[in-house]
Amino acid sequence: GVGRGSRVGLMQKDTPLYCAAFLGLVKAGAVAIPLTPRLPVASYVSIFAAARLSLVVAEREHASMLSEAHQLSGTRILASDGEGQTLERLAAAAPDIFAAAPTHRDEPAFWLFSSGTTGSPKGIIHSHASCADGGKLLREVIGADEQALVLHTSKLFFTYSLDNAFLGPINIGASTILNESWPEPEQIVEQAARYRPNVVFSVPTFYRRLLNLGAERLTALREVTHFYSAGERLPEAIALAWREAVGKDIHSCYGMSESHTNALACF
């Protein structure tokens, strides 16, 4: 029932199905709206009303949290797992051929909601041109190509990862490593050893947690070519400790929900 111009919220784990849902909405001319599950319940009431969502695809564990917003707005909720009609079952039964809507570069492709640090979360509209422009840091600063493999620690509903670890790699034909749940330092080290990524995107707090494992546990990360940090200022103590433990610098980049792609990046 989703048509061109429909606004659909996505509150899912970082899986290939989530990526397919996002890209499928954009291809259909609908509007994908990533949602974080870590806002107060009242914020979802405001978001549902502001975005006039026709559907929200959510993990079953978040259904009760969204019930108030659902009741007040009438927005349909589709579970991405569980019993009955689910996204998995609908995807499995879908036809193999799916024609793209004849969208224009200035039409909305996705929305991002601000973090709400200066009031209620505000919707930020991004066009198809913005969607196609993802990966500027990978492409223009790093010079990455289809051989790149990205490992990231933030979730895809953050613009930081949406750009650098999802739309960006797709735009240059590269690959990305997905973590369904919030990753732990030990998990990231294990993935680095197993998959050997050459680009890592994280935040200062997570770099600190990795350092707490000790330099010996970080051996696999020594093979990574590029480390980037965003979200907050990178403390000098963490930068120096990382260089000593891993032998590489952490570079800073800066972006925001309003720009989607990075506005500044060091190399």
In this structure, which long-range contacts are made by residues 51-55, counting pairs with CB atoms below 8 Å and at least 24 apart in sequence? Answer: 51/7, 51/9, 51/111, 51/123, 52/7, 53/7, 53/8, 53/9, 54/1, 54/2, 54/6, 54/7, 54/8, 55/1, 55/2, 55/6, 55/8, 55/9
Residue-wise over 217-254: b if at least 16 C-beta within 10 A, else e? ebebbeebebbbbbbeebeeebbebbeebbebebbebe
Phi-psi map region of 177: left, alpha, beta (phi>0 left; psi -120 to 50 alpha): beta
Q: Judge whether 136 and 231 are in contact, CB under 8 Å.
A: no
What pLDDT, on a 0 to 100 scale, did the predictor assign at position 31?
97
What pLDDT, on a 0 to 100 scale, did the predictor assign at position 117?
63
What pLDDT, on a 0 to 100 scale, did the predictor assign at position 132?
87
How far apart CA 244 and CA 240 sit, in angstroms, is: 6
How far apart CA 94 and CA 137 sit, in angstroms, is: 35
How far apart CA 118 and CA 179 sit, in angstroms, is: 30
Task: Give SS3 for 238.
Answer: helix
- Phi, psi (rounded to 5 degrees) for 73: -100, -20
DSSP assigned state of 220: G
What pLDDT, on a 0 to 100 scale, did the predictor assign at position 114?
80
How far apart CA 122 and CA 129 sit, in angstroms, is: 21
What pLDDT, on a 0 to 100 scale, did the predictor assign at position 116?
62
Residue ranges of the chain with pLDDT lower than 50?
A: none
Other Cβ atoms within 10 Å of 93 Cβ, number = 7
pLDDT digits (tens, 9 = 90+) for 222-238: 999 999 999 899 999 99
Q: What is the pTM of this model?
A: 0.92
- Phi, psi (rounded to 5 degrees) for 122: -115, 140
DSSP E strand stretches across the chain: 7-11, 31-34, 55-58, 76-79, 108-113, 123-127, 149-152, 175-177, 199-202, 226-229, 250-254, 264-265
- Which residues, listed in sequence order, are joined to residue 57 by a DSSP beta bridge? 10, 78
pLDDT digits (tens, 9 = 90+) for 129-158: 988 888 999 999 999 999 999 999 999 999
